[in-house]
């Protein structure tokens, strides 16, 4: 068996063992596993070839049908994605070495293996299998937090992910009916279902809700791994399975601008970072959707760079949770209790220098600052997008918003943040933060290190005077806007929808207009009361009987209705497709 496939097979043996080992031995096994993943990641940079390999092909049924459930081969896009999954996955395991539960560590191995399995899948059956195991393992990482909020968010995340897998399955069935093969290629049938299934995992708008639901709800070591796996597998699938199109290109640009605005409104650090995942994934989607060699290389390089600096940012936020006990920006820079000692008054950047350095380096990298890895991939994407309207300008505005929101992240979280450090960061946590910080700088200064895994071999000579000038201008503009809006951003911003909207009758209207508006107001009030009373009658109450007493309306919220609606759309499309066969 090829060496690379050990990363896919090993968790089957190692993960169950971790559940029964003593802490000392479990840490030793995890360190060996981390070293193995890092070796495989750097092995890819040597230009190693996977070739073609199949597992479990000796079954008679598989031989008769010609199907191979576990078939792997190397595609030009596989190596760069697998490198990111292996490298960042290994550092993520190191980060949680002493603070993650045994079950979280075991499931994490399966999640990393699933992502690598998707990257090297040779056919749609293998692709779907690892797509679904990634769904189950990542949802399990949220479930394992075991708080009521985490359980609720995990169910929502799982529902979205299962709907993604179901849509993908329908697309694969339609593709097989049209072509007679499970070969992994651009779809000739069922394209809608492929877009829907992959779009959910990639957080296409408006299918993105599960990201800010699930990521902040997991334990902080698991959040760092989730940031490196879920949506990045979706981006790989967009590049590998979906044909380039204006729709995908524009969708990516819209994701970038929408999510960066939502991130600015967040006070919870991991929710802010979760929305920025959607925003940065938008850059990747826009790039691969364009379809040119430089745009695909830029998008996939940004995939790896984003894994590195986003995991770093989640680790820095996790350090605050671990040491201070909160990740709420308002609690950090405006604590409810006044500091009593000098230690309580100390700024967090002084009390937690390693976490602060990680946050600062990650913020500079994600903002596209020269000499950091984010600049390199964003330079390729901007070069490819030149003249592509409106995507080019949307991404430029999103870049300013990114610098603005990460000025907020660093300033309110660490520079102005105050809090009593209750626990010191473990050595493994600090080592992981330092390793990813160094990676952001090293691959920013010497981007040629990643040239062996670029699918189209685009030149990484990216430090031109114009490129540096544009990047610095966008970052500086974001910082200036932050300085101007700092007082506003310091306040907690809440977006709420009113339960009812009242119409105001102005004296400037004519008497006829006033009567019409009053009649409309009266109708609105009557309709509102009628619907409210109807729902009251339907609401189930213990000991109360009646034909309508079958549902508890109080337990239905907007999120559940939204999920039910989305499932209904999928089922209707499923019926329309197959009823036409």
- Alpha carbon distance 85, 44 (integer Å): 12
221-240 pLDDT per residue, tens: 999 999 888 899 999 999 99
Q: Please check whether residues 442 and 479 belong to one and the same domain.
A: yes
- Alpha carbon distance 200, 67 (integer Å): 27
Q: Please check whether residues 466 and 506 belong to one and the same domain.
A: no
What range does the domain containing 579 cover?
A: 539-581
Q: Please check whether residues 474 and 525 belong to one and the same domain.
A: no
Q: Are 300 and 379 in contact (CB under 8 A)?
A: no
Q: Please check whether residues 502 and 489 belong to one and the same domain.
A: no
83-127 pLDDT per residue, tens: 999 999 999 999 999 999 999 999 999 999 999 999 999 889 899
Question: Which residue(s) pair with 328 in the sheet?
Answer: 268
Structure tokens, 506? 């102005």
pLDDT value of residue 551? 45
pLDDT value of residue 523? 77
Residues 6+ apart with CB under 8 A from 26: 18, 102, 105
Q: Please check whether residues 338 and 434 belong to one and the same domain.
A: yes
Q: Please check whether residues 509 and 559 belong to one and the same domain.
A: no
Give me the helix-helix angle, 373-385 and 465-490, nearest 10°.
110
270-293 pLDDT per residue, tens: 889 999 999 999 999 999 999 899
Q: Please compute the mean of the pLDDT values over residues 367-385 and round it to a whole number.
A: 92
Q: Are 260 and 401 in contact (CB under 8 A)?
A: yes
State the maximum Cα–Cα separation within the chain, in Å, rounded to a whole number. Answer: 86
Q: Please check whether residues 356 and 307 belong to one and the same domain.
A: yes
Q: Strands, DSSP E only, in 330-450? A: none
Structural domain total, the chain: 4
Last residue of a domain, one of 242, 266, 300: 242
Residue 42's Cβ-side half-sphere holds a number of Cα atoms within 13 Å equal to 7
Q: Closest Cα partner for 458 from 43, 39, 49, 80? A: 80
Last residue of a domain, one of 242, 269, 292: 242
- Alpha carbon distance 232, 112 (integer Å): 12
pLDDT value of residue 576? 57
How many other CB atoms sit within 10 Å of the CB of residue 50? Answer: 19
Q: Please compute the mean of the pLDDT values over residues 511-530 and round it to a whole number.
A: 71
Secondary structure percentages of the chain, helix, strand, coil, to 5: 70, 5, 25
Containing 306, the helix (H) or strand (E) segment is helix 293-323
pTM over 0.85: no
- Alpha carbon distance 482, 488 (integer Å): 9
Q: Please check whether residues 84 and 32 belong to one and the same domain.
A: yes
Q: Please check whether residues 238 and 359 belong to one and the same domain.
A: no
437-449 pLDDT per residue, tens: 999 999 999 999 9
Q: Please check whether residues 342 and 196 belong to one and the same domain.
A: no
Is the pLDDT at 246 greater than 70? The verdict is: yes
For residue 429, cis peptide bond before it (omega within 30 degrees of 0): no
Q: Please check whether residues 29 and 166 belong to one and the same domain.
A: yes
Last residue of a domain, one of 218, 242, 266: 242
In degrees, rounded to 5, the angle at the alpha carbon of residue 93 between the alpha carbons of residues 79 and 35 is: 65
- Would you place residue 342 in the very low, low, confident or very high pLDDT band (cuts 50, 70, 90)? low
3-state secondary structure 124-152: HHHHHHHHHHHHHHHHHHHHCCCCHHHHH
178-223 pLDDT per residue, tens: 888 888 889 988 899 999 999 999 999 888 888 988 899 999 999 9
pLDDT value of residue 558? 47
Distance of CA 482 to the CA centre of its chain: 25
CA quadruple 235, 241, 243, 245: dihedral sign: negative
Q: Please check whether residues 441 and 295 belong to one and the same domain.
A: yes
């Amino acid at each position: 068996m090829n060496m690379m496939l050990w990363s896919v097979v090993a968790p089957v043996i190692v993960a169950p063992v971790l559940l029964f080992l003593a802490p000392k031995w479990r840490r030793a096994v995890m360190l060996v596993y981390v070293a193995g993943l890092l070796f495989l990641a750097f092995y890819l940079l040597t230009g190693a070839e996977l070739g073609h390999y199949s597992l479990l092909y000796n079954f008679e049924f598989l031989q008769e049908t010609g199907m191979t459930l576990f078939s792997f081969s190397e595609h030009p896009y596989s190596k760069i994605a697998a490198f990111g999954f292996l490298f960042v996955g290994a550092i993520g395991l190191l980060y949680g070495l002493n603070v993650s539960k045994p079950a979280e560590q075991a499931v994490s191995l399966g999640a990393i293996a699933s992502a690598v399995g998707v990257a090297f899948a040779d056919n749609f059956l293998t692709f779907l299998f690892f797509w679904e195991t990634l769904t189950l393992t990542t949802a399990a990482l949220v479930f394992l937090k075991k708080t009521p909020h985490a359980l609720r968010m995990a169910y929502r995340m799982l529902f979205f992910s299962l709907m993604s897998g179901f849509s993908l399955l329908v697309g694969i069935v339609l593709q097989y009916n049209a072509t007679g093969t499970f070969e992994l290629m651009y779809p000739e049938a069922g394209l809608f279902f492929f877009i829907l299934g992959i779009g959910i995992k990639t957080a296409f708008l408006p299918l993105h809700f599960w990201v800010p639901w699930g990521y902040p709800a997991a334990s902080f070591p698991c959040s760092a791994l989730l940031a490196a796996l879920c949506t990045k597998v979706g981006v790989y699938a967009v590049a590998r399975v979906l044909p380039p199109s204006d729709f995908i290109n524009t969708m990516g640009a819209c994701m970038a601008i929408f999510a960066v605005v939502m991130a600015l409104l967040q006070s919870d650090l991991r929710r802010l970072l979760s929305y920025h995942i959607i925003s940065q994934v938008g850059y990747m989607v826009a790039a691969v959707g364009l379809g040119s060699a430089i745009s695909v290389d830029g998008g996939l390089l940004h995939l790896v760079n984003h894994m590195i600096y986003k995991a770093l940012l989640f680790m820095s936020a996790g350090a605050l949770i671990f040491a201070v006990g909160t990740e709420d920006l308002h609690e950090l820079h405006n604590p409810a209790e006044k500091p009593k000692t000098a230690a309580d008054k100390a700024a967090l950047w002084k009390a937690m220098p390693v976490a602060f350095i990680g946050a600062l380096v990650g913020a500079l990298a994600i903002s596209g600052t020269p000499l950091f890895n984010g600049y390199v991939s964003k330079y390729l994407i901007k070069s490819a997008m030149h003249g592509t309207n409106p995507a080019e300008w949307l991404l430029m505005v999103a870049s300013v918003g990114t610098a603005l929101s990460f000025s907020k992240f660093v300033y309110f979280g660490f520079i102005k943040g105050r809090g009593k450090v209750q626990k010191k960061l473990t050595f493994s946590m600090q080592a992981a933060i330092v390793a990813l910080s160094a990676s952001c700088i090293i691959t920013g200064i010497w981007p040629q290190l990643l040239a062996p895994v670029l699918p189209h071999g685009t030149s990484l000579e990216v430090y031109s005077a114009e490129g540096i000038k544009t990047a610095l201008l966008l970052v500086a503009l974001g910082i200036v806007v932050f300085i101007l809006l700092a007082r506003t951003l310091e306040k907690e911003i809440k977006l709420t929808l009113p339960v009812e909207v009242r119409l105001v009758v102005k004296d400037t209207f004519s008497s006829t207009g006033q009567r019409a508006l009053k009649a409309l107001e009266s109708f609105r009030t009557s309709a509102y009361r009628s619907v409210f009373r109807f729902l009251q009658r339907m609401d189930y109450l213990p000991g109360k009987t009646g034909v309508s007493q079958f549902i508890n309306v109080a337990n239905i919220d907007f999120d559940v209705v939204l999920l039910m609606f989305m499932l209904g759309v999928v089922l209707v499309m499923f019926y329309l497709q197959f009823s036409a066969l």
